Chains A and B, each alone.
Chain A
Protein backbone atom coordinates (compact mmCIF):
# COMPACT_ATOMS: atom_id res chain seq x y z
CA UNK A 1 0.00 0.00 0.00
CA UNK A 2 1.46 3.27 -1.12
CA UNK A 3 0.27 5.23 1.87
CA UNK A 4 1.91 2.90 4.32
CA UNK A 5 5.20 3.06 2.48
CA UNK A 6 4.82 6.78 2.43
CA UNK A 7 4.43 6.91 6.17
CA UNK A 8 7.40 4.64 6.60
CA UNK A 9 9.42 6.89 4.41
CA UNK A 10 8.75 9.79 6.67
CA UNK A 11 10.21 8.03 9.63
CA UNK A 12 13.06 6.37 7.79
CA UNK A 13 16.65 7.32 8.25
CA UNK A 14 16.97 7.85 4.54
CA UNK A 15 14.44 10.62 4.43
CA UNK A 16 15.93 12.25 7.47
CA UNK A 17 19.22 12.36 5.66
CA UNK A 18 17.56 13.75 2.60
CA UNK A 19 16.21 16.47 4.78
CA UNK A 20 19.68 17.43 5.89
CA UNK A 21 20.29 19.89 3.12
CA UNK A 22 17.14 21.72 3.98
CA UNK A 23 17.93 21.64 7.65
CA UNK A 24 21.29 23.12 6.93
CA UNK A 25 19.65 26.01 5.20
CA UNK A 26 18.11 27.11 8.42
CA UNK A 27 20.59 27.82 11.10
CA UNK A 28 17.98 27.97 13.79
CA UNK A 29 17.29 24.30 13.29
CA UNK A 30 20.90 23.25 13.63
CA UNK A 31 20.50 22.10 17.20
CA UNK A 32 17.27 20.26 16.70
CA UNK A 33 17.07 16.52 16.28
CA UNK A 34 16.46 15.34 12.78
CA UNK A 35 12.99 14.12 13.54
CA UNK A 36 12.04 17.31 15.31
CA UNK A 37 13.40 19.34 12.45
CA UNK A 38 11.27 17.46 9.98
CA UNK A 39 8.17 17.88 12.07
CA UNK A 40 8.93 21.54 12.50
CA UNK A 41 8.95 22.43 8.85
CA UNK A 42 5.46 23.41 7.93
CA UNK A 43 4.50 24.44 4.42
CA UNK A 44 3.34 27.70 5.85
CA UNK A 45 6.54 28.83 7.49
CA UNK A 46 7.05 32.14 5.80
CA UNK A 47 10.68 32.38 6.76
CA UNK A 48 11.41 29.47 4.47
CA UNK A 49 10.67 31.60 1.48
CA UNK A 50 13.40 33.58 -0.13
CA UNK A 51 11.04 35.35 -2.44
CA UNK A 52 7.40 36.19 -2.38
CA UNK A 53 5.87 36.84 -5.74
CA UNK A 54 2.31 37.61 -4.85
CA UNK A 55 1.55 40.66 -2.79
CA UNK A 56 -1.01 39.91 -0.19
CA UNK A 57 -3.05 41.67 2.37
CA UNK A 58 -3.32 44.89 0.44
CA UNK A 59 -6.87 43.98 -0.33
CA UNK A 60 -7.20 45.13 -3.92
CA UNK A 61 -8.81 43.10 -6.70
CA UNK A 62 -5.47 43.15 -8.54
CA UNK A 63 -3.54 41.71 -5.62
CA UNK A 64 -6.24 39.11 -5.13
CA UNK A 65 -5.95 37.96 -8.74
CA UNK A 66 -2.15 38.03 -8.62
CA UNK A 67 -2.24 35.71 -5.65
CA UNK A 68 -4.69 33.49 -7.51
CA UNK A 69 -2.43 33.47 -10.57
CA UNK A 70 0.58 32.52 -8.47
CA UNK A 71 -1.31 29.56 -7.04
CA UNK A 72 -2.53 28.53 -10.48
CA UNK A 73 1.02 28.73 -11.86
CA UNK A 74 2.08 26.47 -9.02
CA UNK A 75 -0.66 23.92 -9.64
CA UNK A 76 -0.29 24.00 -13.42
CA UNK A 77 3.48 23.55 -13.28
CA UNK A 78 3.15 20.73 -10.78
CA UNK A 79 0.62 18.79 -12.85
CA UNK A 80 2.26 19.52 -16.19
CA UNK A 81 5.46 18.05 -14.87
CA UNK A 82 3.62 15.02 -13.50
CA UNK A 83 2.06 14.27 -16.88
CA UNK A 84 5.09 14.26 -19.14
CA UNK A 85 5.55 11.04 -21.08
CA UNK A 86 6.86 8.43 -18.70
CA UNK A 87 6.16 10.78 -15.82
CA UNK A 88 5.11 9.94 -12.31
CA UNK A 89 1.40 9.50 -12.99
CA UNK A 90 1.85 7.45 -16.13
CA UNK A 91 4.43 5.22 -14.47
CA UNK A 92 2.97 4.73 -11.04
CA UNK A 93 -0.69 5.71 -11.27
CA UNK A 94 -3.42 3.78 -13.00
CA UNK A 95 -5.60 4.59 -15.99
CA UNK A 96 -8.10 6.45 -13.86
CA UNK A 97 -5.60 8.63 -12.02
CA UNK A 98 -4.03 9.46 -15.36
CA UNK A 99 -7.44 10.61 -16.60
CA UNK A 100 -8.07 12.54 -13.39
CA UNK A 101 -4.78 14.41 -13.48
CA UNK A 102 -5.01 15.04 -17.21
CA UNK A 103 -8.31 16.81 -16.60
CA UNK A 104 -7.10 18.68 -13.52
CA UNK A 105 -4.01 19.86 -15.41
CA UNK A 106 -6.17 21.10 -18.25
CA UNK A 107 -8.28 23.09 -15.80
CA UNK A 108 -5.30 24.66 -14.04
CA UNK A 109 -3.76 25.71 -17.35
CA UNK A 110 -7.09 27.28 -18.34
CA UNK A 111 -7.18 29.15 -15.04
CA UNK A 112 -3.69 30.47 -15.69
CA UNK A 113 -4.65 31.71 -19.15
CA UNK A 114 -7.84 33.29 -17.86
CA UNK A 115 -6.13 35.12 -14.98
CA UNK A 116 -3.25 36.31 -17.18
CA UNK A 117 -5.75 37.76 -19.63
CA UNK A 118 -7.87 39.21 -16.86
CA UNK A 119 -4.91 40.92 -15.20
CA UNK A 120 -3.56 42.21 -18.51
CA UNK A 121 -0.78 44.66 -17.79
CA UNK A 122 -0.92 43.71 -14.12
CA UNK A 123 -0.17 40.08 -14.88
CA UNK A 124 2.91 38.58 -13.25
CA UNK A 125 5.38 36.03 -14.60
CA UNK A 126 5.48 32.53 -13.21
CA UNK A 127 7.91 32.00 -10.35
CA UNK A 128 10.45 29.19 -10.53
CA UNK A 129 9.31 26.21 -8.53
CA UNK A 130 11.09 23.54 -6.56
CA UNK A 131 8.63 20.74 -5.92
CA UNK A 132 11.15 18.81 -3.89
CA UNK A 133 10.99 21.59 -1.28
CA UNK A 134 14.75 21.63 -0.98
CA UNK A 135 15.04 17.85 -1.14
CA UNK A 136 12.33 17.02 1.40
CA UNK A 137 10.15 15.43 -1.27
CA UNK A 138 10.68 13.60 -4.51
CA UNK A 139 7.22 13.74 -6.11
CA UNK A 140 8.51 13.13 -9.64
CA UNK A 141 10.86 10.28 -8.72
CA UNK A 142 13.96 12.12 -9.81
CA UNK A 143 16.05 10.63 -7.01
CA UNK A 144 17.18 7.06 -7.83
CA UNK A 145 17.27 6.27 -4.12
CA UNK A 146 13.53 6.85 -3.73
CA UNK A 147 11.12 4.18 -4.89
CA UNK A 148 8.47 5.02 -7.45
CA UNK A 149 5.64 4.15 -5.10
CA UNK A 150 6.97 6.51 -2.46
CA UNK A 151 7.35 9.28 -5.00
CA UNK A 152 3.85 8.75 -6.30
CA UNK A 153 2.45 8.83 -2.77
CA UNK A 154 4.29 12.12 -2.24
CA UNK A 155 2.92 13.42 -5.50
CA UNK A 156 -0.64 12.61 -4.37
CA UNK A 157 -0.06 14.16 -0.97
CA UNK A 158 1.30 17.39 -2.41
CA UNK A 159 -1.57 17.44 -4.88
CA UNK A 160 -4.07 17.20 -2.05
CA UNK A 161 -2.35 19.98 -0.15
CA UNK A 162 -2.28 22.23 -3.22
CA UNK A 163 -5.96 21.72 -3.98
CA UNK A 164 -7.13 22.16 -0.39
CA UNK A 165 -4.93 25.25 -0.16
CA UNK A 166 -6.37 26.61 -3.39
CA UNK A 167 -9.91 26.30 -2.10
CA UNK A 168 -9.07 28.15 1.08
CA UNK A 169 -6.97 30.80 -0.66
CA UNK A 170 -9.63 31.78 -3.20
CA UNK A 171 -12.16 31.95 -0.40
CA UNK A 172 -9.93 34.33 1.49
CA UNK A 173 -9.78 36.68 -1.48
CA UNK A 174 -13.55 36.90 -2.03
CA UNK A 175 -13.85 39.93 0.19
CA UNK A 176 -11.17 41.73 -1.82
CA UNK A 177 -13.23 41.25 -4.98
CA UNK A 178 -16.55 42.43 -3.59
CA UNK A 179 -16.26 45.76 -5.42
CA UNK A 180 -15.67 44.04 -8.77
CA UNK A 181 -18.63 41.70 -9.23
CA UNK A 182 -17.52 40.19 -12.53
CA UNK A 183 -14.11 39.29 -11.15
CA UNK A 184 -15.70 37.99 -7.97
CA UNK A 185 -18.00 35.73 -9.96
CA UNK A 186 -15.13 34.41 -12.08
CA UNK A 187 -13.08 33.73 -8.95
CA UNK A 188 -16.01 31.85 -7.43
CA UNK A 189 -16.33 29.82 -10.62
CA UNK A 190 -12.69 28.77 -10.28
CA UNK A 191 -12.93 28.29 -6.51
CA UNK A 192 -15.61 25.63 -6.73
CA UNK A 193 -13.68 23.75 -9.42
CA UNK A 194 -10.68 23.65 -7.09
CA UNK A 195 -13.02 22.15 -4.50
CA UNK A 196 -14.13 19.51 -6.99
CA UNK A 197 -10.47 18.68 -7.60
CA UNK A 198 -9.73 18.60 -3.89
CA UNK A 199 -12.56 16.20 -3.20
CA UNK A 200 -11.50 13.88 -6.00
CA UNK A 201 -7.83 13.88 -5.02
CA UNK A 202 -8.69 13.25 -1.37
CA UNK A 203 -10.94 10.36 -2.37
CA UNK A 204 -8.22 8.95 -4.65
CA UNK A 205 -6.05 8.87 -1.52
CA UNK A 206 -8.75 7.04 0.45
CA UNK A 207 -9.93 10.04 2.46
CA UNK A 208 -13.30 11.73 2.62
CA UNK A 209 -13.75 14.47 0.03
CA UNK A 210 -14.26 17.02 2.80
CA UNK A 211 -12.01 18.20 5.60
CA UNK A 212 -12.77 16.86 9.07
CA UNK A 213 -11.73 19.14 11.95
CA UNK A 214 -8.22 20.35 11.08
CA UNK A 215 -7.03 16.90 10.14
CA UNK A 216 -4.68 16.75 7.18
CA UNK A 217 -5.59 13.06 6.84
CA UNK A 218 -3.78 9.74 6.73
CA UNK A 219 -0.46 9.74 4.96
CA UNK A 220 -0.15 13.51 4.79
CA UNK A 221 3.23 14.74 6.03
CA UNK A 222 3.20 17.06 9.02
CA UNK A 223 4.69 19.71 6.76
CA UNK A 224 1.26 20.13 5.15
CA UNK A 225 -0.51 20.97 8.40
CA UNK A 226 -0.61 24.71 7.66
CA UNK A 227 -3.08 23.91 4.90
CA UNK A 228 -5.49 22.55 7.51
CA UNK A 229 -4.94 24.77 10.52
CA UNK A 230 -8.10 26.68 11.37
CA UNK A 231 -10.43 24.22 9.64
CA UNK A 232 -11.70 23.11 13.05
CA UNK A 233 -13.73 26.31 13.43
CA UNK A 234 -17.24 25.63 14.76
CA UNK A 235 -18.62 29.16 14.78
CA UNK A 236 -20.16 30.86 11.74
CA UNK A 237 -21.28 34.49 11.90
CA UNK A 238 -20.81 34.17 15.64
CA UNK A 239 -23.29 31.29 15.86
CA UNK A 240 -22.11 28.02 17.37
CA UNK A 241 -22.84 25.31 14.80
CA UNK A 242 -22.65 22.32 17.10
CA UNK A 243 -26.29 22.85 18.05
CA UNK A 244 -27.28 22.15 14.45
CA UNK A 245 -25.56 18.77 14.14
CA UNK A 246 -28.19 16.08 13.58
CA UNK A 247 -28.42 13.14 15.93
CA UNK A 248 -26.43 10.22 14.65
CA UNK A 249 -23.57 12.48 13.62
CA UNK A 250 -20.35 13.19 15.40
CA UNK A 251 -21.18 16.87 15.94
CA UNK A 252 -17.63 18.22 15.73
CA UNK A 253 -16.85 16.17 12.63
CA UNK A 254 -20.11 17.04 10.89
CA UNK A 255 -19.92 20.75 11.68
CA UNK A 256 -16.31 21.22 10.64
CA UNK A 257 -16.85 19.25 7.45
CA UNK A 258 -19.81 21.47 6.58
CA UNK A 259 -17.73 24.62 6.13
CA UNK A 260 -14.40 25.21 4.42
CA UNK A 261 -12.49 28.02 6.09
CA UNK A 262 -10.61 30.80 4.29
CA UNK A 263 -6.89 31.44 4.37
CA UNK A 264 -5.64 35.00 4.52
CA UNK A 265 -3.48 36.19 1.67
CA UNK A 266 -0.44 36.02 3.92
CA UNK A 267 -1.21 32.45 4.94
CA UNK A 268 -1.72 31.38 1.33
CA UNK A 269 1.48 33.07 0.20
CA UNK A 270 3.40 31.43 3.01
CA UNK A 271 2.17 27.99 1.99
CA UNK A 272 2.90 28.56 -1.70
CA UNK A 273 6.29 30.06 -0.95
CA UNK A 274 7.87 26.82 0.15
CA UNK A 275 7.68 25.68 -3.46
CA UNK A 276 9.02 28.95 -4.87
CA UNK A 277 12.74 29.13 -5.55
Chain B
Protein backbone atom coordinates (compact mmCIF):
# COMPACT_ATOMS: atom_id res chain seq x y z
CA UNK B 1 0.00 0.00 0.00
CA UNK B 2 2.29 2.75 -1.17
CA UNK B 3 1.11 6.21 -0.63
CA UNK B 4 2.52 8.95 -2.72
CA UNK B 5 3.97 11.81 -0.78
CA UNK B 6 4.59 15.14 -2.29
CA UNK B 7 7.10 17.12 -0.36
CA UNK B 8 5.65 20.28 0.96
CA UNK B 9 8.18 22.94 1.73
CA UNK B 10 7.59 26.47 2.88
CA UNK B 11 8.66 29.16 0.49
CA UNK B 12 11.94 30.74 1.36
CA UNK B 13 11.21 33.79 3.38
CA UNK B 14 14.52 35.51 3.08
CA UNK B 15 15.79 35.87 -0.43
CA UNK B 16 19.02 37.77 -0.36
CA UNK B 17 20.77 36.48 2.69
CA UNK B 18 19.83 32.90 2.06
CA UNK B 19 22.49 32.05 -0.43
CA UNK B 20 25.31 32.66 1.96
CA UNK B 21 23.61 30.48 4.59
CA UNK B 22 23.54 27.61 2.16
CA UNK B 23 27.26 27.68 1.68
CA UNK B 24 27.95 27.10 5.31
CA UNK B 25 27.94 23.85 7.09
CA UNK B 26 28.07 22.53 10.53
CA UNK B 27 27.67 25.69 12.43
CA UNK B 28 25.29 27.20 14.27
CA UNK B 29 24.14 28.73 17.28
CA UNK B 30 25.77 31.33 19.38
CA UNK B 31 23.54 32.10 22.27
CA UNK B 32 24.20 33.81 25.54
CA UNK B 33 27.39 32.22 26.72
CA UNK B 34 27.43 29.88 23.78
CA UNK B 35 29.70 29.85 20.85
CA UNK B 36 29.66 27.19 18.22
CA UNK B 37 32.45 27.21 15.70
CA UNK B 38 32.12 26.46 12.05
CA UNK B 39 33.36 23.18 10.71
CA UNK B 40 37.05 23.08 9.93
CA UNK B 41 36.33 22.52 6.28
CA UNK B 42 34.19 25.57 6.12
CA UNK B 43 36.07 28.02 4.00
CA UNK B 44 33.31 30.53 3.91
CA UNK B 45 33.65 33.52 6.13
CA UNK B 46 30.26 35.00 6.89
CA UNK B 47 29.48 38.54 7.75
CA UNK B 48 28.54 38.37 11.43
CA UNK B 49 25.63 40.66 10.76
CA UNK B 50 24.34 38.27 8.10
CA UNK B 51 23.57 35.57 10.62
CA UNK B 52 19.99 35.47 11.73
CA UNK B 53 19.29 35.93 15.43
CA UNK B 54 16.13 34.34 16.80
CA UNK B 55 15.32 37.48 18.74
CA UNK B 56 14.09 37.88 22.28
CA UNK B 57 10.84 37.68 24.21
CA UNK B 58 7.85 36.00 22.67
CA UNK B 59 9.21 36.48 19.15
CA UNK B 60 12.45 34.76 20.07
CA UNK B 61 10.59 31.78 21.50
CA UNK B 62 8.34 31.54 18.45
CA UNK B 63 11.36 31.57 16.15
CA UNK B 64 13.01 28.97 18.38
CA UNK B 65 9.97 26.71 18.11
CA UNK B 66 9.89 27.36 14.35
CA UNK B 67 13.51 26.18 14.09
CA UNK B 68 12.72 22.95 15.93
CA UNK B 69 9.62 22.31 13.85
CA UNK B 70 11.61 22.92 10.67
CA UNK B 71 14.10 20.30 11.81
CA UNK B 72 11.43 17.74 12.63
CA UNK B 73 9.50 18.37 9.42
CA UNK B 74 12.65 18.08 7.30
CA UNK B 75 13.58 14.83 9.00
CA UNK B 76 10.17 13.20 8.47
CA UNK B 77 10.06 14.47 4.90
CA UNK B 78 13.16 12.40 4.28
CA UNK B 79 11.64 9.45 6.11
CA UNK B 80 8.39 9.36 4.15
CA UNK B 81 10.03 10.02 0.80
CA UNK B 82 11.84 6.70 1.05
CA UNK B 83 10.52 4.47 3.78
CA UNK B 84 12.93 1.84 5.02
CA UNK B 85 12.39 -1.65 3.63
CA UNK B 86 10.11 -3.96 5.55
CA UNK B 87 8.26 -1.17 7.30
CA UNK B 88 5.11 -2.38 9.05
CA UNK B 89 1.70 -0.86 8.37
CA UNK B 90 1.59 0.60 11.86
CA UNK B 91 5.05 2.13 11.54
CA UNK B 92 4.13 3.62 8.19
CA UNK B 93 0.96 5.14 9.60
CA UNK B 94 2.76 6.59 12.61
CA UNK B 95 5.60 8.07 10.55
CA UNK B 96 3.20 9.52 7.97
CA UNK B 97 1.14 11.10 10.73
CA UNK B 98 4.26 12.57 12.35
CA UNK B 99 5.29 13.97 8.97
CA UNK B 100 1.86 15.56 8.53
CA UNK B 101 1.78 16.99 12.04
CA UNK B 102 5.27 18.48 11.95
CA UNK B 103 4.76 20.04 8.54
CA UNK B 104 1.57 21.63 9.81
CA UNK B 105 3.36 22.95 12.90
CA UNK B 106 6.23 24.28 10.80
CA UNK B 107 4.11 26.05 8.23
CA UNK B 108 1.85 27.48 10.88
CA UNK B 109 4.81 28.99 12.75
CA UNK B 110 6.02 30.53 9.51
CA UNK B 111 2.64 32.16 9.00
CA UNK B 112 2.08 33.09 12.62
CA UNK B 113 5.46 34.77 13.06
CA UNK B 114 5.15 36.56 9.74
CA UNK B 115 1.84 37.99 10.88
CA UNK B 116 3.32 39.66 13.96
CA UNK B 117 6.91 40.45 12.95
CA UNK B 118 8.77 42.19 10.17
CA UNK B 119 9.91 39.91 7.39
CA UNK B 120 13.52 40.20 8.50
CA UNK B 121 12.57 39.00 11.98
CA UNK B 122 11.17 35.69 10.77
CA UNK B 123 13.61 32.79 10.92
CA UNK B 124 14.46 31.91 7.33
CA UNK B 125 14.03 28.47 5.87
CA UNK B 126 16.83 26.41 7.38
CA UNK B 127 18.96 23.96 5.50
CA UNK B 128 19.63 20.52 6.92
CA UNK B 129 22.07 17.74 6.31
CA UNK B 130 20.96 14.26 7.31
CA UNK B 131 23.86 12.43 5.67
CA UNK B 132 24.71 10.86 9.00
CA UNK B 133 21.41 8.97 8.94
CA UNK B 134 20.79 5.92 6.82
CA UNK B 135 17.11 6.35 6.04
CA UNK B 136 16.92 2.76 4.81
CA UNK B 137 17.77 1.62 8.32
CA UNK B 138 14.76 1.21 10.59
CA UNK B 139 16.73 1.45 13.81
CA UNK B 140 18.42 4.67 12.82
CA UNK B 141 15.22 6.29 11.61
CA UNK B 142 13.24 5.44 14.74
CA UNK B 143 16.09 6.27 17.11
CA UNK B 144 16.48 9.68 15.49
CA UNK B 145 12.74 10.26 15.62
CA UNK B 146 12.77 9.48 19.34
CA UNK B 147 15.56 11.93 20.01
CA UNK B 148 13.81 14.66 18.02
CA UNK B 149 10.45 14.12 19.73
CA UNK B 150 11.92 13.90 23.22
CA UNK B 151 13.93 17.03 22.50
CA UNK B 152 10.85 18.84 21.31
CA UNK B 153 9.03 18.00 24.51
CA UNK B 154 11.81 19.29 26.76
CA UNK B 155 12.13 22.38 24.58
CA UNK B 156 8.49 23.42 24.77
CA UNK B 157 8.37 22.59 28.47
CA UNK B 158 11.37 24.82 29.09
CA UNK B 159 10.20 27.63 26.84
CA UNK B 160 6.73 28.07 28.31
CA UNK B 161 7.92 30.28 31.17
CA UNK B 162 9.43 32.78 28.74
CA UNK B 163 6.17 33.45 26.93
CA UNK B 164 4.26 36.51 28.09
CA UNK B 165 1.30 36.24 25.73
CA UNK B 166 -1.11 33.65 27.18
CA UNK B 167 -2.36 32.76 23.70
CA UNK B 168 1.13 31.72 22.70
CA UNK B 169 1.47 29.75 25.92
CA UNK B 170 -1.71 27.81 25.21
CA UNK B 171 -0.57 27.26 21.62
CA UNK B 172 2.74 25.84 22.86
CA UNK B 173 0.74 23.62 25.20
CA UNK B 174 -1.40 22.38 22.33
CA UNK B 175 1.70 21.37 20.42
CA UNK B 176 3.88 19.97 23.19
CA UNK B 177 1.37 17.32 24.20
CA UNK B 178 1.20 16.13 20.60
CA UNK B 179 4.99 15.94 20.54
CA UNK B 180 4.80 13.88 23.74
CA UNK B 181 2.21 11.58 22.16
CA UNK B 182 4.65 11.13 19.27
CA UNK B 183 7.58 10.42 21.57
CA UNK B 184 5.54 7.81 23.39
CA UNK B 185 4.45 6.05 20.21
CA UNK B 186 7.93 6.03 18.69
CA UNK B 187 9.45 4.59 21.86
CA UNK B 188 6.97 1.73 21.83
CA UNK B 189 7.58 1.09 18.13
CA UNK B 190 11.29 0.78 18.87
CA UNK B 191 10.76 -1.75 21.65
CA UNK B 192 7.17 -3.00 21.99
CA UNK B 193 8.03 -4.97 25.10
CA UNK B 194 9.40 -1.95 26.94
CA UNK B 195 7.82 0.81 28.95
CA UNK B 196 9.98 3.38 27.22
CA UNK B 197 6.87 5.39 26.29
CA UNK B 198 7.61 7.30 29.49
CA UNK B 199 10.90 5.73 30.42
CA UNK B 200 13.16 6.46 33.33
CA UNK B 201 15.95 7.16 30.85
CA UNK B 202 14.07 10.20 29.57
CA UNK B 203 12.03 11.42 32.52
CA UNK B 204 13.37 13.28 35.56
CA UNK B 205 12.55 13.70 39.22
CA UNK B 206 10.94 16.79 40.67
CA UNK B 207 11.36 17.63 44.31
CA UNK B 208 12.18 14.09 45.32
CA UNK B 209 8.71 12.86 44.37
CA UNK B 210 10.04 10.34 41.85
CA UNK B 211 11.02 10.05 38.21
CA UNK B 212 7.70 11.05 36.70
CA UNK B 213 8.26 14.31 34.79
CA UNK B 214 9.50 15.33 31.39
CA UNK B 215 12.51 17.59 31.55
CA UNK B 216 12.18 21.29 30.85
CA UNK B 217 15.31 22.50 29.14
CA UNK B 218 16.43 26.02 28.38
CA UNK B 219 16.70 27.11 24.75
CA UNK B 220 20.49 27.25 25.09
CA UNK B 221 20.58 23.63 26.27
CA UNK B 222 18.28 22.44 23.52
CA UNK B 223 20.04 24.36 20.78
CA UNK B 224 23.37 23.08 21.97
CA UNK B 225 22.07 19.53 21.66
CA UNK B 226 20.55 20.27 18.28
CA UNK B 227 23.84 21.68 17.03
CA UNK B 228 25.51 18.55 18.31
CA UNK B 229 23.48 16.44 15.90
CA UNK B 230 25.06 18.22 12.96
CA UNK B 231 21.70 18.24 11.19
CA UNK B 232 21.35 22.01 11.00
CA UNK B 233 23.61 23.61 8.45
CA UNK B 234 22.18 27.11 8.43
CA UNK B 235 23.78 29.20 11.12
CA UNK B 236 21.69 31.30 13.44
CA UNK B 237 22.17 32.80 16.84
CA UNK B 238 20.01 32.90 19.96
CA UNK B 239 21.53 35.84 21.76
CA UNK B 240 18.23 36.99 23.19
CA UNK B 241 17.23 33.65 24.73
CA UNK B 242 18.38 31.98 27.91
Contact = CB atoms under 8 A, between A and B. Distances in A.
A221 B167 CA distance: 33
Interface-central residue, B94, B164, B167, B203, by most chain A CB under 10 Å = B203
Interface in B9-64: none
A1 interface: no
A118 B209 CA distance: 11
Nearest to B93: A208
Nearest to B5: A248
A32 interface: no
Interface stretch (B117-125, B132-140, B169-177, B219-227): B169-177
A79 to B, nearest CB: 13
A209 B184 contact: yes
Interface residues of A, number: 61
B97 A208 contact: yes
Contact of A106 (B115, B180, B182, B212): B212
A215 to B, nearest CB: 14
B213 A198 contact: no
Contacts of A54: none
A257 B178 contact: yes
Contact of B185 (A113, A192, A209): A209
Interface in A229-260: 236-237, 239, 241, 244-249, 254-255, 257-260
B175 to A, nearest CB: 7
A168 to B, nearest CB: 8
A199 B170 contact: no
A114 interface: yes
B226 to A, nearest CB: 18
B161 A184 contact: yes
A209 B181 contact: yes
Contacts of A198: 177, 181, 184
B3 A248 contact: yes
B177 A260 contact: yes
B215 interface: yes
Interface stretch (A13-21, A124-132, A173-181): A173-181
Given A197-B184, A259-B178, 15 more contacts: A110-B211, A118-B207, A171-B170, A184-B169, A189-B214, A193-B212, A196-B214, A197-B197, A208-B97, A237-B171, A244-B104, A246-B99, A248-B6, A249-B100, A257-B178
What are the 8 tightest A-B residue pairs by CB atom distance, in nearest-first order? A110-B210, A110-B212, A195-B180, A199-B184, A195-B177, A199-B181, A181-B161, A107-B212
Interface of B: 3-6, 8, 93-94, 96-97, 99-101, 103-105, 107-108, 111-112, 115, 153, 156-158, 160-161, 163-164, 166-171, 173-185, 188, 192-193, 195, 197-198, 203-204, 206-207, 209-216
14 contacts: A96-B193, A100-B197, A106-B210, A111-B212, A171-B177, A191-B177, A196-B214, A197-B184, A203-B184, A210-B178, A210-B182, A236-B174, A247-B5, A255-B104
Interface of A: 96, 99-100, 103-104, 106-111, 113-114, 117-118, 167, 170-171, 174-175, 178, 181-182, 184-186, 188-200, 203, 208-210, 236-237, 239, 241, 244-249, 254-255, 257-262
